[in-house]
Amino acid sequence: MSIFNLPASTIVNRIIPKNSFDRFTTSKQKKSFSDLVDKIRWANKLSRETINLSGSDIKEIQVFEVSLKKKTAIPDLLNVIDRSIPYPIIFILACNETFMVVASAKHPHPTNENTAVIDWTFTSPWAKKIPFQLNLKQSLDSVWTDFCKQLSGRPSDKLSLAELIAKEHKINELKTGIEDLRTAIKKTRQFNKKVELNIELQKKLTALEKYS
């Protein structure tokens, strides 16, 4: 058994050299890989061959362990890896016995088959234990959707993955709008303008409450 109590048949246990992604990185990102990442280990592969589950959209799911030199989120570097590999990847970031889990929904680039477009990234907070599970049931599509829902904090949500991503985008849009309005209210001196902004703020807060 391994991470997420996955079957031994899924274990890959292969170190991936950091320079494997050089052709996808800028010089700044190469330096960040060197400065922040200790090693990348391809831990597990979920596929029809390893767990006897197939999928319509999802053909394989990879699990990568990323050991960090210091405790920090590295979204830019994970995006580099994610865009360069066509299959969904579950990243386990590890540092000082704490863990962060990251997974991005993505689709193939319409004109470049060697890269992927990221639709949304689900990220957990740092924690001493990994509270998520890979439930190997039905199909690889359902395994992936279920895991993304766990990461989103909505494990029992009945939405499809596409609907969940649309919801996350809307929530993010509302939160950004709320912060912009709060900043504008603080800066505005005209009473009438403050009233208008506060009315708009209340509308967005009400909308966010419905989505959350």
Angstrom distance (rounded) from CA 33 to CA 40: 10
> Nearest 10 degrees: CA dihedral of 150, 154, 158, 159?
-90
| AA letter at 197 | L
Task: Decide if 14 contacts 41 (C-beta within 8 A).
Answer: yes
> For each of the chain's 212 residues, which pLDDT tens digit applies?
467 889 999 999 999 999 999 988 999 999 999 999 999 999 999 999 999 999 999 999 999 999 999 999 999 999 999 999 989 999 999 999 999 999 999 998 888 877 889 999 999 999 999 999 999 999 999 999 999 999 999 887 788 999 999 999 999 999 999 999 999 999 999 999 999 999 999 999 999 998 76
CB atoms within 10 A of CB 112: 10
The model carries a pTM of 0.89
Angstrom distance (rounded) from CA 117 to CA 73: 20
Dihedral sign for Cα 163, 166, 167, 168, please: positive
Ordered strands of the 116-123 beta sheet? 11-16, 37-46, 61-68, 89-95, 98-108, 116-123
